Amino acid sequence: MIAFVLRRVLGLAATLAAASLVVFVVLEVLPGDPALVMLGTEAQPQTLALLRAEMGLDQPAPQRYLAWVAGLVRGDLGLSYTYRVPVGELVVQRLAVTLPLTVLAISLSTALAIPLGVFAAARHRRWGDSAIMAFAQMGMAIPNFWLALLLVLVFAVQLGWFSAGGFPGWSDSPGAAFKALVLPAIALALPQAAILARVTRSAVLDMMGEDFVRTARAKGLSRDAALWRHALRNALIPVLTIMGLQFSFLLAGAVIVENVFYLPGLGRLVFQAVSQRDLIVVKNVVLLLAATVVIVNFIVDLLYAAVDPRLRTGR
Amino acid sequence: MRKAFIAFASFAILALSTAAVEAQHDTLTLAMTLEPAPGLDPTVGPAAAIREITYGNLFEGLARIDRNAEVKPALAESWTVSADGLIYTFKLRQGVRFHDGTEFDSADVKFSLERAMAPDSRNAQKWIFAPIARIETPDRYAVVVTLKRPAGNFLYGLGWGDAVIVAPETAAHNSTNPIGTGPFKFDRWVKGDRVELSRFDGYWRKDAVALRKVTFRFIPDAQAQISALLARDVDAVPLFAAPEAVAQFKTDKRFSVTVGATEGETILALNNRKPPFNDVRVRQALAHAIDRKAIIEGAMSGYGTPIGSHFSPGHPAYVDLTGRYPYDPAKAKALLAEAGYPNGLKATLRLPPPPYARRGGEIVAAQLSKVGIQVSIEPVEWAQWLDNVFQNKQFDMTIISHVEPMDIDKYAVDDYYFGYRNPHFKEVMSAIDRATDPAAQNRLYKEAQTLLAEDSVNVFLFQLPRITVANADVIGLWQNVPLPANDVTEVSWRK
């Protein structure tokens, strides 16, 4: 188990080093000068040069790359061009929205999807299965931003139960902050739940055809008991894979839903930073996301190993 | 039983909603499309969003521009100008305090002006300070500014956001913690979400201020702005981003809609330095080929004032030149043939993200194709537009709104992106700068507008409207914006 973890940690470090280089190079070739974006149509050559020097953009690229990596190692992410505050501070503020939102959305979608998926598998080819799968099909077809708009129209504009968007902050009133995340979490969770329910159903059905389930049935277990005790546990591997992907996706991929609810989340930070060429924010956040994806995959691998002992020895 | 329940429910809803309205009476929440960048200091960044929060609210200058575009005293109680137009003597207001409690005096004025005009200053409007020779402070409440040459726009410039007075102790931190003398002080900036201000009790005309708290929320998405208004999350959207949705709010009694003017001249800019647009006949042909009414209708749902030169229709010196090149495709074709393009020509049209450009561009392309100009549309991001079009001048045509006030002087800048060069025009502009008599200045402005129309430098389309959608009970918002601002000093709730 220790060798397994060590191998994975080394791979993780190498991936991050490669990612930092790719992120830097991509941003180098991206057209658009951060200083020019700040000054806009009022830019004059002299002020442009001053601003570039202040932002360190007059240095050669290899030097800037090394300075960035050195800063990362020290834990210093630099100062945002546009907000003039440390990038680390910005990221922490945004994570205070994005992480709870992601966790809420994933919990909701899991709580919905796994029971529904298993139920559908248990009722295979009966009307319960067809009904659930029809809903799942619909859930997958509905874009989350459209669902978000619909939720705003019904629950904020018509009924007035929720705000149409925004985020009051945890320190002022935790209750209001949680409430502000409810509609966005639903908008994110439903399409995810639809996918997860389908995956759960087909994974359980696959397992039901396996030899060990047949053996369990032969021992005299009922179909349902075999499903709950044997098939489900083994079906969790593909389900965990999808959940890992969904978690990583939600961290930055929630940007469209964040826009509809004007939530100050991580996705919108990156989106805005790209359009304003706040490159220092972009490169740090992108790298951070890459690191998160790698780490989430790592955790998923560990969970696999926990669920399936055969994977621990790498055989 | 059921009736009782309904009665109870409606009573509860009524009680809740009146409670909400009650609480709102001295707070105001405005929605803005863009978040300020970089920071909140108007003396180091030109972004309109910075001014839309700070101007008149957080910071003040010696003079201010009021909602009618007039120059009014602010931190200077009064001023006198010597007969030769070189010496400006300002009498400062006494008892004014900065938000940190320190007193405002002539040393702050000297510091602020010298900081803005310094060689390493990042102030975006250096022209305001360029004429200054020296600044003297004979006493705590008097400032004498001596100019190198007469400058007719000097006082007007001092009213801009770029010329606000800051304190030496706090100036360096104004980007993140702005300290000014305005009616509201900075509370906090929740990045990506909102900026909060609250009433400054030490303000010099405190009695004029009705609001206790002002919040600026950043809502980039037009649909989200609409929802926020309908859900009563925001009280007003001063620069409403969706003209197509205005009709919906006009018929709703809970809201008021005003359509005012901005300083944004929206133009089809042409690259004057390269063929075919270096030929005035081609540029005039384009002017004849464009139907402004159809563009305003299609791109702006009818909101926007047609313009025939680069000048704001609200200004006293405005000349209506929209009739100079009436919509006439046949004339356009004839001019193109005369210029050597009897079979038409091909050109690209680069479009930045704002809806006026993207939607307007489609209509422009359709209209130009009727006179034989094949347009290929290239949508670009804002950063790309600045890089390709503005900085490197790689473009044939583009659509853009020039939002700075009185920016007709840009046509005298050598190597500006559209590449206009006319020595006569430059003479007129420098004569305006020297003129101190407003009547003479206005005469020259009229001449300048006419020159631009004659040369058909760009195709002048329309003045960008300022559409404000607000709660019907909010009064005192600016209808027109003579410069980028959301000055809420005089805003209150109807009693």
Asked whether residue B11 carries a pLDDT value surpassing 50, the answer given is no
| Best A162, A167, A262 residue to mutate vs chain B (most B CBs within 10 Å) | A262
> What pLDDT tens digit does each residue of chain A (315 aa) get?
678 778 878 888 888 889 999 999 998 888 888 888 888 888 888 888 888 888 888 889 899 999 999 998 898 888 898 888 999 999 999 999 999 999 999 999 999 998 898 888 888 888 888 888 888 888 888 888 899 999 999 999 999 999 999 898 888 889 999 999 999 999 999 989 999 999 889 888 888 888 888 888 888 888 888 887 778 888 888 888 888 888 888 887 788 899 899 999 998 999 889 888 899 999 999 898 888 888 888 888 878 777 777 766 654
Q: Do B386 and A40 touch (CB under 8 A)?
A: yes
Of A37, A42, A262, the CB nearest to B383: A37
Query: Nearest CA to CA, how far is B415 from chain A (Å)?
Result: 11
Position B23 confidence tier, pLDDT thresholds 50, 70, 90:
low
- Cβ atoms < 10 Å from Cβ of A273: 26
- Backbone Cα Rg of chain A: 24
Of B35, B194, B402, the CB nearest to A41: B402
Asked whether residue B24 carries a pLDDT value surpassing 60, the answer given is no
Q: Do B191 and A278 touch (CB under 8 A)?
A: no
Residue B172 has a pLDDT of 93
Average model confidence (pLDDT) across chain A: 87
What does the block give as tokens for B42? 């108007």
Of A85, A157, A264, the CB nearest to B230: A157
B402 Cβ under 8 Å from any chain A Cβ: yes
Query: Nearest CA to CA, how far is A191 from chain B (Å)?
Result: 21
| Best A33, A36, A41 residue to mutate vs chain B (most B CBs within 10 Å) | A41
Find the angle CA(B486)-CA(B492)-CA(B495) to the nearest 5 degrees: 160
Residue A221 has a pLDDT of 83
B124 Cβ under 8 Å from any chain A Cβ: yes
Of A39, A164, A259, the CB nearest to B231: A164
Residue B483's identity, in one-letter code, is L
Q: What would the mean pLDDT of B14-30 be, rounded to a whole number?
A: 63
* Strand blocks (E) in B301-355: 305-306, 345-351
Nearest residue in B to A165, CA atom: B228
Dist. CA B366–CA B373, nearest whole Å: 9
Q: Do A47 and B383 touch (CB under 8 A)?
A: no
Asked whether residue B17 carries a pLDDT value surpassing 80, the answer given is no
Nearest residue in A to B46, CA atom: A39
Query: Nearest CA to CA, how far is A261 from chain B (Å)?
Result: 7
B305 Cβ under 8 Å from any chain A Cβ: no
* Selected residue with higher pLDDT from A6 and B281: B281
Q: What would the mean pLDDT of B42-48 be, rounded to a whole number?
A: 90
Scanning A146-185 for CB atoms below 8 A from B yields 149, 152-153, 156-157, 160, 163-167, 169
Q: Which of B435, B412, B397, B383 is nearest to B277 (CA)?
A: B397
Asked whether residue B10 carries a pLDDT value surpassing 50, the answer given is no
Of A84, A156, A157, the CB nearest to B39: A84
**Structural element, H or E, at residue B187:** strand B184-190
Exposure of A196 in the CB half-sphere (CA atoms within 13 A): 29
Residue B18 has a pLDDT of 43
Dist. CA B88–CA B128, nearest whole Å: 14
Q: What would the mean pLDDT of B229-233 be, rounded to a whole number?
A: 93
Query: Nearest CA to CA, how far is A276 from chain B (Å)?
Result: 7
Q: What would the mean pLDDT of B54-60 be, rounded to a whole number?
A: 96
Chain B residues inside the 8 Å CB shell of A82: 35, 37-39
B177 Cβ under 8 Å from any chain A Cβ: no
Query: Nearest CA to CA, how far is B54 from chain A (Å)?
Result: 15
Query: Nearest CA to CA, how far is A246 from chain B (Å)?
Result: 24
Query: Nearest CA to CA, how far is A217 from chain B (Å)?
Result: 55
Beta-strand pair B255-270/B459-471 = antiparallel
B384 Cβ under 8 Å from any chain A Cβ: yes
B118 Cβ under 8 Å from any chain A Cβ: no
Asked whether residue B236 carries a pLDDT value surpassing 90, the answer given is yes
Q: Do B227 and A165 touch (CB under 8 A)?
A: yes
pTM of the full predicted structure? 0.87
Residue A247 has a pLDDT of 85
- Cis previous bond, B38, omega within 30: yes
Asked whether residue B472 carries a pLDDT value surpassing 90, the answer given is yes
Query: Nearest CA to CA, how far is B389 from chain A (Å)?
Result: 11
Chain A residues inside the 8 Å CB shell of B224: 152, 164-165, 259-262
Of A115-119, B58-62, B303-307, B332-336, minimum mean pLDDT range: A115-119
Nearest residue in B to A87, CA atom: B191
Scanning B198-257 for CB atoms below 8 A from A yields 217-221, 223-224, 227-228, 230-233
Q: How does pLDDT run across A270-309, given as a tens digit for each residue?
A: 988 988 889 999 999 989 888 888 888 888 887 877 777 7
Residue A313 has a pLDDT of 61
Asked whether residue B380 carries a pLDDT value surpassing 50, the answer given is yes
Asked whether residue B147 carries a pLDDT value surpassing 90, the answer given is yes
Q: Do B230 and A164 touch (CB under 8 A)?
A: yes
Dist. CA B207–CA B175, nearest whole Å: 28
Q: Do A259 and B221 touch (CB under 8 A)?
A: yes
Q: Which of B79, B105, B99, B77 is nearest to B90 (CA)?
A: B79
Query: Nearest CA to CA, how far is B337 from chain A (Å)?
Result: 35
Query: Nearest CA to CA, how far is B37 from chain A (Å)?
Result: 5
Q: Do A31 and B192 touch (CB under 8 A)?
A: no
Residue B281 has a pLDDT of 96
The predicted complex's ipTM stands at: 0.83
Dist. CA B228–CA B242, nearest whole Å: 13
Dist. CA A164–CA A290, nearest whole Å: 31
Q: Do B391 and A33 touch (CB under 8 A)?
A: yes
Query: Nearest CA to CA, how far is A280 from chain B (Å)?
Result: 13
* Residues B253 and B300: beta-carbon distance below 8 Å: no
B126 Cβ under 8 Å from any chain A Cβ: yes
Q: What would the mean pLDDT of B156-176 be, rounded to a whole number?
A: 95
Scanning A107-146 for CB atoms below 8 A from B yields none
Q: Do B217 and A166 touch (CB under 8 A)?
A: yes
Nearest residue in A to B224, CA atom: A260
Q: How many CB pairs under 8 A join A and B?
A: 145
- b/e per residue A76-108 (b: at least 16 CB within 10 A): ebbbbbbbbbebbebbebbbbbbeebbebbbeb
Q: How does pLDDT run across B311-344, given as a tens digit for each residue?
A: 999 888 999 999 999 999 999 999 999 999 999 9
Nearest residue in B to A93, CA atom: B191
Beta-strand pair B194-199/B142-147 = unpaired
A276 Cβ under 8 Å from any chain B Cβ: yes
Of A81, A156, A268, the CB nearest to B231: A156
CA B126 to chain CA centroid, Å, is 18
Of B45, B218, B400, the CB nearest to A262: B218
Residue B215 has a pLDDT of 97
Nearest residue in A to B37, CA atom: A82
Residue B338 has a pLDDT of 95
